[in-house]
Amino acid sequence: MPRGSPVCMLAVCVVLMNGVDSGHAQQAIGLRPSLGEGAGTAAPPRDDVSSTDDALMPPPAPESASVSDPRFAESAEIPPPPPGGIAPLTRTPEQTEPAASAIGPYDPLGLRLGAFRAYPSVEVAGVVTDNVQQSASDRQADIGLRIAPELRLQSDWVRHSASLNANSELVFYGDDTDFNEHSADVTGNVLIDVRRSTTWETTGSYGLTQTSPASSEVPNTASGRRTDHTFGLTSRLSHRMGRLVARVSAGVRYLLFDDVSLSGGGREDNSDRNYLEPSGELRLSYAHTPAIRPFAEVRYRPRIHDRTVDRSGLRRDSHGGTVAAGVEFDLSQIWRGEVALRYDVRTFDDPTLDTVHSAGVDANVTWRPSQLTTVRWTASSELDESAAIGVSAVRSYTGAVAIDHALLQHVIIRATGGLAFNDRIGSRQDELTFDAGIGVSYLLSRKAEVLARYGFTSFETFKSDDDYIENQFTAGFRYRL
């Protein structure tokens, strides 16, 4: 063998070993193979890429709430404002699906339905009340069964979004079945990103509520509650031009009032209360900073009743307008919401009905002093209809506050309070309602929850004997997916 042969063989072995190691290195770090190794073939899948469903799985339960779970940090870190000035139009947190890291150990995972994720739940509880008829003089206690189903549906589309929120409450009493309670609320929303600076949003809604016989709008001889239905459809087009955002809205509402059965026989016909309310709105907002956006808006809302003349011989059709000015704010995770001052005016077709005016506040504010506590405050004012003789309209003012506090990861306390005042224009029979409550939820798992609540209601009228007080206690179980 020539003297150079061992050297040549050693060099060949080194080259071959380097080639093998290079190939293994490419596979280990997920690099695309070279053209010489197979041009046109797909790269091997990366082990660190998970599917959509896997991305929604929550992290393992933290060992310590104060260290591992960011929801229970005592103070929230304020993120810096977005670079480059004004941020593009974005969806609200309710319109986006949370990331896997934001899902807590007791949050429901939901069900995958194609491009949507559904979050169903149902609550079954026992109810005890000391005044089932909400009567001032004939207080009667009763026991009932409360069933409250709920469904939240959210899309996970990349660009557009769609959502559905539906909930209902049914209370069946054992003795006084005429005063069974029913309520429902359904809202569907579709948001389309037409362009980077233009969005089109359409919202449809249905609401079912009930009015107590203690109200001045329901006869004292009613044998049960009056049921009211509200149907709504609104479409909004928003466009951003630099710091200015313009929004044009058009919508329609239809309010339907059921007849009321009377204790002495017969029924009260409420078809003269039914009305259609088209609406148009223009809103301009200016992004003074990414976190603060003052705005002004103007609305026009006529009301057209099913019957031209009501039970009192009055023509209740009217024309109404609203001007409002306020501010939207999004101060990181601590403060977020909207507050506005508004002024309403409404004129009626019947010359005997005076033009009515109203000034009020609209607000929807969320305050998170810590990751353990959330405070929500809402307020609204409105000019509502009336069918009473001598009453042009009703100025309605409402306000409510809800405080949620997590004692532990699985123990949540909620305290609520609300105030509603109805100013019946043309009558001194105004109404004031105060309600308060406190409850606790004990989370057994992602799917199971035990809860208990206590509620207090005080109703007062200023020119009648229909005042009443009610205490109600509820305890039960909630199951969710």
- The segment with the largest mean pLDDT, out of 36-50, 57-71, 219-233, is 219-233
CA 467 to CA 222: how far, in whole Å? 16
Which carries the bigger pLDDT value, residue 295 or residue 69? 295
Residue position matching structure tokens 């329901």: 218
Q: In this structure, is residue 321 part of a structural domain?
A: yes
Q: Which whole number is the average pLDDT over 36-62?
A: 40
Question: Where is average pLDDT lowest: 137-141, 205-209, 375-379, 452-456?
Answer: 137-141
Query: Are 456 and 435 in contact, with CB atoms under 8 Å apart?
Result: yes
Q: What is the pLDDT of residues 295-334, one digit of tens each?
A: 999 999 999 999 999 988 999 999 999 999 999 999 888 9
Residue 37's pLDDT is 37
The predicted pLDDT at position 49 comes to 37
Residue with the bigger pLDDT between 385 and 35: it is: 385
Q: Examine the pLDDT at 19 and tell me if it is beyond 70.
A: no
Give the dihedral sign, CA 329/332/337/339. Answer: negative
Instruction: Answer with the residue of higher pLDDT: 258 or 136.
Output: 258
189 within domain boundaries: yes
Stronger pLDDT, 426 or 357, i.e. the higher one: 357
CA distances from 2 to 11, 12, 69 (A): 15, 16, 71
CB neighbour burial string for 50-82, b if at least 16 within 10 angstroms, e if fewer: eeeeeebebeeebeebeeebeebeeeeeeeeee
| The total number of structural domains that make up the chain | 1
Q: Supply the pLDDT for residue 4.
A: 44
8 A C-beta contact, residue 380 and residue 362: yes
CA separation for the pair 319, 436 (Å, rounded) = 36
**Does 15 have pLDDT greater than 50?**
no
Place 57 in a pLDDT band, splitting at 50, 70 and 90. Answer: very low
User: In this structure, is residue 395 part of a structural domain?
Assistant: yes
Q: How far apart are CA 434 and CA 209, in angstroms?
A: 18
% residues pLDDT > 90 (the chain): 62
pTM of the model: 0.76
Q: Is residue 76 part of a domain?
A: no
**pLDDT tens digits, residue range 95-140?**
444 444 467 888 899 999 999 999 999 999 999 999 998 888 889 9
pLDDT at residue 28 in the model: 36
Q: Supply the pLDDT for residue 236.
A: 97
Identify the top-confidence range among 80-89, 93-102, 104-113, 398-407. 398-407
- Mean pLDDT, the chain, rounded, equals 82
Q: What is the pLDDT of residue 426?
A: 84
Asked whether residue 434 is domain-assigned, the answer is yes
Mean pLDDT calculated for residue range 1-18: 42
Separation between Cα atoms, residue 96 and residue 100, nearest integer Å: 12
Q: Is residue 10 part of a domain?
A: no
pLDDT over 80 (residue 88): no
Judged against a pLDDT cut of 80, whether residue 145 lies above it is answered with yes
User: Could you tell me which of 307, 213, 214 has the C-alpha nearest to residue 269?
Assistant: 307
- What's phi and psi for 157, nearest 5 deg? -65, 155
308 is a domain residue: yes
Range of the domain at 137: 93-480
In this structure, of 1-5, 176-180, 218-222, 238-242, the range with the lowest mean pLDDT score is: 1-5
Q: What is the CATH number of the domain that holds 227?
A: 2.40.160
Q: What is the pLDDT of residue 440?
A: 97
pLDDT greater than 60 at residue 350: yes
Share of the chain above pLDDT 70, in %: 78
Q: Is residue 74 part of a domain?
A: no
Residue 42 pLDDT level (bands cut at 50, 70, 90): very low
Q: Given CA atoms 35, 37, 40, 43 in this order, what sign does their dihedral have?
A: negative
Average pLDDT over every residue of 438-448: 96
Cα dist. 293→92, 238, 244, 285, 326 in Å?
Answer: 15, 15, 9, 6, 9
